Amino acid sequence: MAIKRNSKVSTQFSSSSMTDLVFLLLIFMVLATTMINPNNAVRLTLPSSSSTEGDPSIISLAIVPSADAAAPYVYTINGSEEYASIEQVATALAMHYAEYAELPEEERPYISLRCDEKVTVDALMEVVDLTRENKYKMVVATKQKQ
């Protein structure tokens, strides 16, 4: 008695489950990337200070949002000099630091940076890059209590 075995292997590939998986991954990636906001990815919460002492730094730089659409931020140096772009700030800081060029590096003034809560990380990083390129010393100051 000869028993025949059916040893044929099917060469067909069913890709229906694979398309479902790819479709679900695509939906997940689209939803995940649209929910990520680069301004919310890094949140900076500055500590508050109730100290009545003044800022011991010589150069104070503040970044606040502007009402003008052409210049999104206003950069203020020492509370009186206002600039609309980071290039103008770079020129002004170079003039301020030129006064202290003869001092040793450890005695040169540092920049005290204050940012409004609505300032984006990109604007903050522009100032940080500027100080790093020119080898200025910088500290991020605390938010003043109102």
Lowest model confidence (mean pLDDT) among 33-42, 47-56, 71-80, 83-92: 47-56
pLDDT of residue 35: 73
Helix (H, G, I), strand (E, B) or coil at 21: helix
Q: What mean pLDDT is reported for the chain?
A: 79
Residue 24 located in a structural domain: no
Instruction: Specify which of 5-9, 83-87, 116-120, 142-146 reaches the highest per-range mean pLDDT.
Output: 83-87
Q: Would residue 7 count as lying in a domain?
A: no
Range of the domain at 120: 53-144
Give pTM, 2 decimals: 0.57
Q: Is residue 60 part of a domain?
A: yes
- The dihedral over CA atoms of 127, 130, 136, 137, expressed in degrees to the nearest 10, equals 30
CA atoms within 13 A on the CB side of 95: 7
Q: 45-71: buried (b, 16+ CB within 10 Å) or exposed (e) per residue?
A: eeeeeeeeeeeebebbbbbeeeeeeee
